Amino acid sequence: MTPLRHLLLPLCAMLLLSASTAAAANSRMAAAADTNNRLPTLSAEQQRAVGILIAAAPAAQVPQHIDAYGEVLDPSQLVADAGRLDSSRAVARAAAAETARLKGLFRGANASLKALQGAEAAQTQARVRAREARTEFLLRWGPLRQLSQAQRARLLEQLAGGRQLLLRANLLGRHSLGTVPKRALVDVDGVEVPARVLGPLPQAAQMQSVGLLLLMPHPPTGLGPGAQLPVLLEGRSRHGRVVPDGALLYGQRGAYVYRVLPRKTRDGNTQFAPLRVTPLQTVGGAWLVSGLHADDRIVVQGAGVLWSLQGLGIISGGGN
């Protein structure tokens, strides 16, 4: 029988050779990574030659923009729901009064127990119907619940005459809403028509999305129920810094800008480093981003040259 140590020696040699090969491969990979991640450094003359411009990113406070899908609502549905609510409340009040009257007669032996029980059953049924009508109204027209009957009547008159319109704005892909937007702009044939945000609607639409009830005070002539229009909602303001579109570069891990490092090299050259930022929204031909500070100076033109020099891989400029 072959001794156990004779079997183990070749195995140990193989393991040592494998470990040595892996270490060498890791060393080459680390060296390559160090070379690829070496920060670009340019003199002032070189910066002018490749067209690099450096500037600070100004701070800005911009309202959040939310795209929505709007539909002009039929006011006849509001008339029907409001009428059902008012009539059910009136029936409930009449049933309560009848029950109170029969209770008084029953105490004086002028009404039968059966008549009183029938009135109480009718009162209960009327209350249930009133609650159902109220629930349906709140689901479809929740933000209008604060209106009095007189205010609701005036609104219905305006809607029937086409002097105002109600719209439902659906936020596609969302089932909840944080802060209610303050303002809305409805795109009607390329013209932005302002609308007031009345509040959220609890009932989901057919598209299963959260919705907002909008009131358009001065609708264009001819715009009516069933029209489907793009809506831009303005939410709470976002804070950030504005960078030109061409300053943004996109890699596998997100968006970047090139920041100027505060210290120059021994030769007096400027060193640049990529800095990851988060684009928040467009601002004209620029972007509002987070991740920059007041003292940061960034490359606003020629960032793609730096990326190529650093060898970080294939990228695309923000404007392309």
Mean pLDDT computed over every residue of the chain: 81
Higher pLDDT, 31 or 174: 174
Residues 51-99 have pLDDT tens digits of: 999 999 999 988 888 889 899 999 999 989 988 998 999 999 999 999 9
Same domain assignment for residues 46 and 88: no
User: Would you state the pLDDT for residue 282?
Assistant: 86
Q: Taking residues 233-238, what's their average pLDDT?
A: 84
* 144 part of a folded domain: yes
As a whole number of angstroms, the distance between CA 307 and CA 265 comes to 19
pLDDT at residue 27 greater than cutoff 80: no
Residues 2-16 have pLDDT tens digits of: 443 443 334 334 434
* 270 part of a folded domain: yes
User: Would you state the pLDDT for residue 7?
Assistant: 37
Same domain assignment for residues 53 and 110: no
pLDDT at residue 319 greater than cutoff 50: no
* 304 part of a folded domain: yes
* 26 part of a folded domain: no
User: Would you state the pLDDT for residue 296?
Assistant: 94
CB neighbours of 210 closer than 8 A, spacing ≥ 6?
A: 170, 171, 174, 175, 176, 177, 200, 201, 204
User: Would you state the pLDDT for residue 194?
Assistant: 94
* 21 part of a folded domain: no
Of 90, 124, 155, the residue at which a domain comes to its end is 155
Q: Taking residues 243-252, what's their average pLDDT?
A: 90
Q: Look at the chain and report how many structural domains it folds into.
A: 2
* 292 part of a folded domain: yes
Same domain assignment for residues 257 and 292: yes
> Among the listed ranges 19-23, 90-94, 184-188, 304-308, which one has the minimum average pLDDT value?
19-23
pLDDT at residue 100 greater than cutoff 70: yes
User: Would you state the pLDDT for residue 37?
Assistant: 53
Which of 81, 235, 264 has the alpha carbon at shortest distance from 156? 81
Same domain assignment for residues 93 and 42: no
Q: Which residue, chain included where needed, has tokens 């009404």?
A: 111
Same domain assignment for residues 80 and 58: no
Of 155, 186, 211, the residue at which a domain comes to its end is 155
Q: Rounded to two decimals, what is the model's pTM?
A: 0.59
> Among the listed ranges 209-218, 283-292, 304-313, which one has the minimum average pLDDT value?
304-313
* 293 part of a folded domain: yes
User: Would you state the pLDDT for residue 13?
Assistant: 40
313 band by pLDDT with thresholds 50, 70 and 90: very low
User: Would you state the pLDDT for residue 53?
Assistant: 94
Residues 111-153 have pLDDT tens digits of: 888 888 898 999 999 999 999 999 888 888 889 988 888 888 8
Same domain assignment for residues 105 and 52: no
pLDDT at residue 1 greater than cutoff 60: no
Same domain assignment for residues 280 and 248: yes
Residue 49 sits in a domain whose CATH number is 2.40.420.20
Residues above pLDDT 90, as percent of the chain: 44
Tokens matching residue 120:
């109480």
Domain limits for position 253: 37-62+238-317
* 88 part of a folded domain: yes
Of 155, 173, 201, the residue at which a domain comes to its end is 155
Same domain assignment for residues 131 and 106: yes
Same domain assignment for residues 263 and 301: yes
